[in-house]
Structure 1
Amino acid sequence: MSPDLSQTEDDSWSSLSDLMAGLMMVFLLIALVFMVNVEIQRHQMKQVAVLYDHVREQLYNELKIEFADDLPVWGAIIREDLSISFQRESLMFAHGSSELSVEFEQILLDFFPRYLNILSKSDYKPHIEEVRIEGHTSEGWGAKSKDEAYILNMSLSQSRTKSALAFVLALDQVKSEKAWLIDKLTANGLSSSKPIYDKNHNIDEGKSRRVEFKVRTDAEHAIATLLDTLK
């Protein structure tokens, strides 16, 4: 009986070894599939990032060329994040007012149709998620408390962006893109939450009181959609 028992034990160990080897192969296959999927996902996300970085860079360069001579006159700058910042309050509004000055109306009359003409090109239009008009203020508001000053400045910044939005939306030159603009154009008052600092890291109150036009692409949405399809 001993030889038979020994043979049975050998057969059991052999079967167990075969089972463990099979399981190991299954786990290795699962790991390999997972690694391949991760690499595919990484490659596809990289492609999306490269595409949108190219769109951003191309759009930035075109806007910079278009408005190179005008920006200094308007007291404005363009940044690589696709924001055009008008920083000379005296050209835009009376202090504490949300009514557009005649000078700023003329600037917008010149600026916005040309701006829209670039954004609506086939290279950019499909990738634009939002065109934001942002209003920013300084922190001060007389002798009010800091909280009350922030709230009053929030109301002022929102009113200023609404005034700018209403003006550009009513321009005859934008009629052909009115439906697209209504879908994409927003007004955002940010009070004094994002001040501009000078080289000494002090708040530059003059430049902080500004209006900015910003383009936001749908890169984040495209990446989220890609991740959903890969789940």
Structure 2
Amino acid sequence: MKASDSEWMSISDMMSGLMMIFMFIAISFMIQVQNDKDKVEESNKKLKVLMQEAEKAKKRIKNIAITYNKDKTELNEDLHQEFSKNLNKWEAEITQDNIIVFHSPTVLFDNGEALLKKDFQAILDDFFPRYIKILASDKYQNEIDEIRIEGHTSNSWSQKISSDDIYLNNMTLSQSRANNVLSYCYTIDNITINQNKKWLEKHFRANGMAFSKLKFMNDTNTPDDNKSRRVEFKVQMKTEEKIYKILEAS
């Protein structure tokens, strides 16, 4: 064998080896590209599913919101129809959110006390059975999640004490007042109340709020003590809870 032939074979072998290396590199690259493509396709599939679920959730929330607004509007109309003639006498109001607010602190309780005054008891004797007659009717009964009494106070106290004690004393006072209002309403001897006690036990609540939601003088940062001292009756519809659950799941 000539030397030139030997050199040619060495070059040929080297070229074959390089071609094999390039082929393996190309195959590896193609496999990587295919894997990346599969991952992208899988990600796109997951993204598509998530977008479909988000769209479904959006539609559910929209439908629930439509129902909620309808129920909220109709309840507001029914409450106004029932109580509009009494609101001035009771020093009360019905808000757009269907909160019934009793404002006059001198009618509700003595200063710093949790016992209901006689005038407030008389108001509740008239108000609460009519209120429950609406809420426990076939129209609303199954749509209501909670009826909540909230006691609210000012951010002051009659004695000179620490800011911590002012808060704790007002929290205790507001909770006691809310509890006493609930207890009085629940024990009113009235056919509507008696017929719906089991339902009330599932939905009737009392919360003390202290001064967490103060009312202020018009366009100022000065608390309005008289407006802050109040009792509120709130209704939470089941549609609200459904929306919260959908948002949490999403």
How many aligned positions are there? 229
The root-mean-square deviation of aligned C-alpha atoms, in Å, is 2.8
Match of 1:76 among 92, 100, 103: 92
Please name the residue that 1:56 is paired with.
Answer: 72
In percent, how many aligned pairs have the same letter?
33
Tell me the CA shift for residue 12 of structure 1.
5.9
Judging changes above 3 Å, is the alpha-carbon distance between structure 1 residues 21 and 128 closer, same or farther for their aligned structure 2 residues?
same
Deviations 1:108-154 (A, max 9, x none): 01100110011112232222111111111112212322222222222
Equivalent pair of 2:174/2:209 in contact (CA under 8 Å): yes
Give the unaligned 5+ runs of structure 1. Answer: none
1:15-30 correspondence to structure 2 within 5 Å: 27-30=43-46
Counterpart CA distance in 2 for 1:149 and 1:49 is 40
Please name the residue that 1:161 is paired with.
Answer: 178
Match of 2:53 among 16, 37, 42: 37
Does residue 204 of the first structure (1) align with residue 221 of the second (2)?
no
Does residue 151 of the first structure (1) align with residue 174 of the second (2)?
no
Give the unaligned 5+ runs of structure 2. Answer: 1-11
Match of 2:108 among 75, 92, 96: 92
3-state SS in 2 of match to 1:90: helix
Q: Which amino acid aligns with 2:234?
A: K
Identify which range, 61-70 or 174-183, moves more after superposition. 61-70
Match of 1:190 among 209, 212, 233: 209
Equivalent pair of 2:68/2:240 in contact (CA under 8 Å): no
Counterpart CA distance in 2 for 1:110 and 1:137 is 24
Judging changes above 3 Å, is the alpha-carbon distance between structure 1 residues 152 and 29 closer, same or farther for their aligned structure 2 residues?
closer
Match of 1:105 among 117, 121, 136: 121
Tell me the CA shift for residue 164 of structure 1.
1.1
Counterpart CA distance in 2 for 1:18 and 1:142 is 77
Judging changes above 3 Å, is the alpha-carbon distance between structure 1 residues 20 and 89 closer, same or farther for their aligned structure 2 residues?
closer
TM-score, with structure 1 as normaliser: 0.84
Equivalent pair of 2:152/2:228 in contact (CA under 8 Å): yes
Counterpart CA distance in 2 for 1:21 and 1:150 is 62
Tell me the CA shift for residue 33 of structure 1.
3.2
Q: Which amino acid aligns with 1:134?
A: E
Counterpart CA distance in 1 for 2:228 and 2:247 is 38
Does residue 115 of the first structure (1) align with residue 135 of the second (2)?
no
Judging changes above 3 Å, is the alpha-carbon distance between structure 1 residues 69 and 26 closer, same or farther for their aligned structure 2 residues?
same
Does residue 133 of the first structure (1) align with residue 153 of the second (2)?
no
Counterpart CA distance in 1 for 2:205 and 2:99 is 14
Deviations 1:19-58 (A, max 9, x none): 7777665554444333222212211121122212221222
Counterpart CA distance in 2 for 1:62 and 1:212 is 18
3-state SS in 2 of match to 1:172: coil
